[in-house]
Amino acid sequence: MDCDTLVLGAGIVGVCTALHLQAAGQRVVLLDRDEPGRGTSHGNAGLIERSSIIPYAFPRDWSRLLRYGLNRQSAMRFSPIFLPRLAPWLLEYWRQSSPVNLAGASRDMQPLIERCVSEHDALAQAAGMTGLIQAKGWIEFYRDQAQFDIAAADARSHEQYGLRYEILDAVQLRKREPHLSSVVGGIHWLDPKSVSDPGALVRGYADLFVQRGGLSLRGDARSLRQHADAWQADSVEGVVNAQQVVVALGPQSAEVFSGLGYRIPLAIKRGYHMHYASQPGAKLEHSVIDAQAGYVLAPMARGIRLTTGVEFAATDAAPNEIQLRRCEAIARRLYPLGERLDAEPWLGRRPCLPDMRPVIGPARRHKGLWFNFGHAHHGLTLGPVTGRLLAQMMTGAATFTDPAPYSPDRFH
């Protein structure tokens, strides 16, 4: 099986990369050990996050760091035995989160973030998936007046980015979410969109890729090898030969690039989700974020999905329900959640770089090797955007933005 480009990884990033390369006239094979949309892309909070101009930074406030250090918070927990291994990465993440560095990361991410909704709209329309996407925005709510006042001021400072939002007092918020209680106010961000089944959306995009003549195969990306001036990988249907290869494996990307000698500081932020019924008569109209406790409640096809914040633990460590139980206890005081609908919590892994930018571009020591991973909390948001950018780079087309900030070479 010969092709122009082999894309490793059938999550949102890999599928969108394959679609854009295909649209540029390339013969593309998509390879994954599972069917599309079953990994990290399946379990996120379902937000196409147009309003997240400022990346998720490491806390710089010492009182907040002390609270996190006690390891009793709902927004973040860590495995004590794993933390020493992660300490150098966390130190660099902390350094990159200084006000000056964070402002630089925001400027670099803006060209990607501002295209996220339009890129999804185009693909969803072509794939017949528009029914999964709602244009309701999302609501960030607060239980503490002082914190709400700070957040409202921050929102006003984002007007330079052209974002649309409404600041809601308690009465206004209750009109939009009648069953949300014990809140003092919220910010309704109007530009983002929400997805009722992220995994199904990715599979719909993958079906579009196949309908347009692409080939989607099962196989182990770790079988990748260079052969003469080309690349090979094993699939269940035989060897795939390609002139170029894209590593778009999200949290598993290191399993390929590290074996090829690249030292890219990719770390994993683990997270969980669980689906719940609503109690009789209750309904959640929007995706809502408890900004203080660090979790999301999102109305999904399966029920109300509670998605947790960050857990720092070994990638292959057993699931730990502590953080989910903490978030659930808080959420039940604010919204009438019913019974759990899943037998076990879902565990996902977010691929993160300490400078809060993804890796997009060519590998400098191997001809025909390209990277597209490290989207952190915004894989669903940015998959179509970064897929387009990488396809433009690979085909020699004019890029919609300067790709230099995302270069793999920035770590050397």
Q: What is the pLDDT of residue 159?
A: 80
Q: Is residue 44 situated within a structural domain?
A: yes
- Cβ atoms within 10 Å of 256's Cβ, excluding its own: 22
379-395 helix and 12-23 helix, angle to the nearest 10 degrees: 30
Whether 272 is in a domain gets the answer no
Two tokens, residue 171: 């009465």
Residue 123 lies in a domain: yes
Within a domain: 289: no
In which residue ranges of the chain is pLDDT below 70? none
pLDDT of residue 383: 98
Question: Coil, strand or helix: which one is 10?
Answer: coil
Residue with tokens 């250090």: 69
Strand-pair category, 47-48 with 193-195? antiparallel
Burial class of residue 280 (count of CB atoms within 10 Å of its CB; 0-12, 13-18, 19+): exposed
User: Is residue 243 one of the residues assigned to a domain?
Assistant: yes
**pLDDT for residue 41:** 85
Nearest residue to 165 (alpha-carbon basis) of 142, 139, 183? 139
Q: Looking at the domain assignment, is residue 41 inside a domain? A: yes
Domain presence at residue 217: yes
Report the CATH number at residue 385: 3.50.50.60
Q: What is the count of structural domains for the chain? A: 1
Q: Give a yes or no: residue 150 inside a domain.
A: no
Residues 397, 162, 151: CA angle, nearest 5 degrees: 125
Name the residue range of residue 13's domain. 1-52+97-130+193-263+355-412
CB 207 within 8 A of CB 200: no
Q: Which amino acid is at 249?
A: L
* Cα 250 to chain centroid, rounded: 9
Q: Identify the H or E element spanning 203.
A: helix 198-211
The reported pLDDT for the residue numbered 1 is: 86
